[in-house]
Amino acid sequence: MSRRHLIDPEVAVPLEGLLEALPGGFNAIADIVARRATVQAMFAAIEVPENPNVTNEDRTVPGPPGEPDITVRIYRPRDATGARPGIYFIHGGGMIMGDVAGEDPTATLLCDEVGAVVVSVEYRLAPEHPHPAPVEDCYAGLVWTAAHAAELGIDPDRLALYGGSAGGGLAIATALIARDRGGPALRFMMPIYPMIDDRNETASSHEITDIGIWDRAGNIEAWDWYLGGKEADQYAAPARAEDLTGLPPAFIDVGAVDLFRDEDIAFAQRLMAAGVPTELHVHPGSYHAAETFAAEAALSRRTWALRTDALRRALA
């Protein structure tokens, strides 16, 4: 049964426009290279005014041992003085799409609203680079960020992870690796509607089939590409992690009309059971990334206000 009737009417408008322009949504484009190009063109067409309060620069930094270097984009408040909180930012895209440039507006917003130095990482994508390449790139960038905190103007005791969708899953996986390898230390993590379970067994993973934004068929395809024929471990699919103790305090939000709804709620409950302070929000009427597609909607404004408030509190 379709769940489209449950979508908040205000955030439904851009979704309807997308489905008109691209029947079936992004996953209707079978070729991943063509799909990436379409998504990039769509984001590039959105006019985002420059934020005079934020500067950014790209830097090439060491990747995982024996692997290629990676690029990070560093955002700073223009008036920054002294050590600021740091947000290590991991973009979304289902492990198969997305880049730093596509989430430039979000990283800029966090820098401005939270007053933090934001370091956004460009990681390798599947299917060309299956697990563990993406998460190892993310961890390498985090290690570099922590090691260069003083140079970057970051207070190393106030470092948080942020990521949406695949970026949320990678944020949790990066936190697991940091815990298991003895650092860097993390104050907080904010995985937004994280992609964390390759098994596709929850009720919501069966419900969301025709929204046009990250439906069941697309999620199964992305996991297949990301795993590259191998079994998932906890660093690929954090829902499989047996021990969640020792992870940083967390904020998770997800839409009620999002395929990831049930896996995210279950994970938040497990974090709490493991003694990890966790804030969870489930937004009625919200589909996957609705606050990005309908940024001016009342639902989207409420969603962003909760996130920035939580980051300010956690990094104070």
Average pLDDT over residues 70-93: 95
**Contact criterion met (CB below 8 Å) for 254 and 265:** yes
> What domain count does the chain have?
1
CA distance 37 to 258: 24
* Options 137, 258, 262, 264, the catalytic residue: 258
Average pLDDT over residues 71-93: 95
- CA 208 and chain centroid, separation: 19
Residue 139's CATH number = 3.40.50.1820
Instruction: Quote the pLDDT of residue 307.
Output: 98
**Contact criterion met (CB below 8 Å) for 162 and 200:** no
Instruction: Quote the pLDDT of residue 50.
Output: 87
pLDDT band at 28 (very low <50, low <70, confident <90, very high): confident
Instruction: Quote the pLDDT of residue 44.
Output: 75
pLDDT digits (tens, 9 = 90+) for 120-169: 999 999 999 999 999 999 999 999 999 999 999 999 999 999 999 999 99
CB atoms < 10 A from the CB of 291, how many?
Answer: 24
* Options 91, 129, 165, 198, the catalytic residue: 165
Domain extent for 197: 4-314
Average pLDDT over residues 203-209: 97
258 in active site = yes
- Nearest alpha-carbon partner for 238 in 276, 209, 203: 276
pLDDT digits (tens, 9 = 90+) for 218-246: 999 999 999 999 999 999 999 999 999 99
pLDDT digits (tens, 9 = 90+) for 29-77: 889 999 999 888 877 777 778 899 999 999 999 999 999 999 999 999 9
Min mean pLDDT across 77-86, 199-208, 280-289 is at 77-86
288 in active site = yes
CA distance 91 to 40: 13
165 in active site = yes
Min mean pLDDT across 12-16, 136-140, 271-275 is at 12-16
Instruction: Quote the pLDDT of residue 22.
Output: 83
* Options 137, 286, 288, 300, the catalytic residue: 288
